Copies of this chain bind each other. A is one copy, B any other.
Amino acid sequence: MTRSGKPIRPPSVKALPLWGASTGKVAELLTESEAAVLGQIASEVQFSKGARVYLQGEPAQAVLNIREGVVKACNTGPDGSEHIVCFLFPGDVLGLAEEGRYVNTVIAVTPVKALKVPTAPLEKLLKQNAALEFHVITKLTHELRSSQRHALLLTQRGTVERLALFLRLLERNQFANGQATDRIFLPMSRGEIANYLAISASALSRSFAELVRRRAIALGGRQFVTLVDRHRFAAILGEDADAPALR
């Protein structure tokens, strides 16, 4: 036990199963006992909006598991430019190093609660527990697919298509987590979305306006998007709304 008498909420790692059934919903990967043993070596940490979780190039001392909130993983280019590599949500894992150092800088997009798991005991634990490791593999595969989807999004020519794809990504994310899909929640700012889509803030704004003009979506404040017409929305993506492709 790390702290006596402080039973922390157990970790949660969610992903689509590797070889299991096709439900489209993410499942909790950790068993109760796995969560318990991880909880033993983990500690709770909090970050306020905009706070730095860790810095690119820093020695990697811990892996984190998001409990509440959203973070962004950024990569600082040699010229100083910053780009958002991915957004991470509750149930996601971050901080897996490369050659002992963090690859990206991670910043909280909203207030965040997370579990911090030091690498040394984690590594030891992993090497003893094959079942746990298998779940890590599943999670990593899931994150790899997410990254590939992001790359795919970035190959889209039009800014409208990119935005539409991004919205569908968020929608799928919500669906996979068992939330409503008619209303899409945008926890991040326009600037952050633009950065993630690799388009200018102006182009993003115009794309939102265009989707509204085409009556595919409606804006409910800055944080919410409603899909008013799924067929029109799917048409923009070159898809059939009734037979969505399993990307």
In whole angstroms, what is the CA distance A96 to B85 when docked? 22
- A78-B237, A140-B140 in contact; A86/B148 too (CB < 8 A)? yes
Contact segment of A3-11, A19-27, A108-116, A220-228? A19-27
Cβ-based interface call for A230 (8 A): no
In whole angstroms, what is the CA distance A24 to B101 when docked? 12
Contact mask for chain A residues 8-37; partner B; CB cutoff 8 A; 1 contact, 0 none: 000000001111111110000000000000
In whole angstroms, what is the CA distance A98 to B145 when docked? 8
In-complex Cβ contact of A99 among B16, B81, B127 (8 A): B16
- A78-B237, A152-B75, A155-B83 in contact; A19/B123 too (CB < 8 A)? yes
Residues in B with CB closer than 8 Å to A129 are: 130
**Chain A count of residues within 8 A CB distance of the other chain:** 60
Tell which of A16, A127, A237, A247 has the most Cβ of chain B within 10 Å.
A247
A156 CB to nearest B CB, Å: 8
- A22-B100, A57-B246, A133-B130 in contact; A85/B16 too (CB < 8 A)? no
Q: Are B141 and A96 in contact (CB under 8 A)?
A: yes
In whole angstroms, what is the CA distance A238 to B77 when docked? 8
Cβ-based interface call for A245 (8 A): yes
Task: List A residues 56-107 near B (Cβ within 8 Å).
Answer: 57, 60, 75, 77-79, 81, 83, 85-86, 96-101, 103-104
Q: Are A247 and B148 in contact (CB under 8 A)?
A: no
Contact mask for chain A residues 139-178; partner B; CB cutoff 8 A; 1 contact, 0 none: 0111111011011101100000000000000000000000
